[in-house]
Amino acid sequence: MRLNRSAVAAVLSLALALGACGKSGPPASEFPAEGEPAKVKLLEAGAADKTALRWKPVKGATGGVALDLGTSFQINAAGQSMPMTMNMKMDMLATVLDVGADGSAQMESEIVSADLDMPGMGAGTDAMAMANDMLRGLSIRMNVDARGRVSGVEVTGGGAFAEQLADQMGQSLESSSIPFPEEPVGIGAKWQALSTVETNGMKVRMVAGYELVSLNGTKGEVAMTIEQYADPQKMSMAGASVELEKLKSSGGGKMQFDLATPMVVTGEMTLKMDASLEAMGQSADMRADVRMTFKPKDGLKSTHTAEPAGDDAGGGDAVAPGGGEVEAPGGVVGGEAPSDEVPAKAPAEDVPTEEPTVTP
């Protein structure tokens, strides 16, 4: 018996939904509700010379990021072993749409170019070109507070297939944003962030661990571990009924940040996953290895009609005022902030929901 196309599509959709998932973890009651900012807990304060890590985004600031996501699958079903690979490269242009008086910001990341390749899947050049065209122009909006905590992730535009992929990109962007603790920290500080996301119909609880490896002015580096936990559940993916039975995984990486930008400058993550599921009445075991890298990229232009950012949009050089708190006006990954600082704005209202929160 062969695993039919719908079942394969469902398995791939599940793989897109999962960065790395497990079946246990902290009690569900400790996690925030879906769409709420991560709960951050300081575990170790680090060295004596401590700083409260904060940034202050500037309305209208823009910048580009290149995202490279590679996934290799091994699916065993119906007596068959099916190796598959998926490579996705995207250039994304991020814009700070609005800034609140408390330093929170509403941001939008637009996919300006996409290159999706699935060798061995029987998808022709025309099909891949169509998929890439569907991805271009998709937008992912999110709210980011002064500590880097993400909430209200939403995807707009494109068809169902494109939105599934962009949904994963939204989760990846959410995973790549470092949520800082409330307390001042020094080198060697460790903290934990708990969050809840729903991706392609699957509810996932994520535990991210961070250690501050270095900090020099506004620039620093963290080592990161990721675990995600999903209870056994039924979902509808790619038009197929999927029942998730069990999962086992691990992942981690490192990120370099600049407090002058409200997103990660450079980063890399690797994730491993083993899952058992049932799709279209057929059982399948899947193993996936995921590699994700992101870095700044200059010169990107929006595919949308540009909206004026406002005559008062601007920014300046990062500053570290006294009192131990670093506040760095700035833009987005890879971009230079405009030169004039603006008065704080009222917080932006949430955008109507679609979803989404990535890490790949």
The H or E element containing residue 192 is strand 190-199
Alpha-carbon distance of 325 to 278, in angstroms, equals 51
- Mean residue pLDDT across the chain: 75
- Look at residue 37 in the predicted model and tell me its pLDDT: 86
Going along 80-178, which residue ranges are E strands? Answer: 80-99, 105-117, 139-144, 150-156
Distance of CA 280 to the CA centre of its chain: 29
pLDDT mean over 112-128? 72
Residue 357, pLDDT > 50, answer no
Pull the structure tokens for residue 344: 């704080």
Q: Which long-range contacts (CB under 8 A, 24 or more apart) does 124-131 make?
A: 131/161, 131/162, 131/165
- Look at residue 154 in the predicted model and tell me its pLDDT: 81
> pLDDT: is 109 or 133 the higher one?
109
Q: What are the angstrom distances between the C-alpha of 115 and each of 69, 119, 190, 215? A: 10, 13, 37, 35
> pLDDT: is 317 or 61 the higher one?
61
How close are the terminal C-alpha atoms of the chain, in Å?
32
CATH (residue range 5-309+324-330)? 2.30.230
- Look at residue 125 in the predicted model and tell me its pLDDT: 65
- Look at residue 14 in the predicted model and tell me its pLDDT: 52
Instruction: Return the top range by mean pLDDT from 84-98, 110-124, 296-310.
Output: 84-98
For the CA atoms of the chain, what is the radius of gyration? Answer: 20
Alpha-carbon distance of 214 to 47, in angstroms, equals 11
Place of tokens 């297939």: 161
Tens of pLDDT, residue by residue over 173-214, are 666 679 999 999 999 999 999 988 776 667 788 899 999 999
Q: What is the pTM of this model?
A: 0.73
Tens of pLDDT, residue by residue over 204-213, are 888 999 999 9
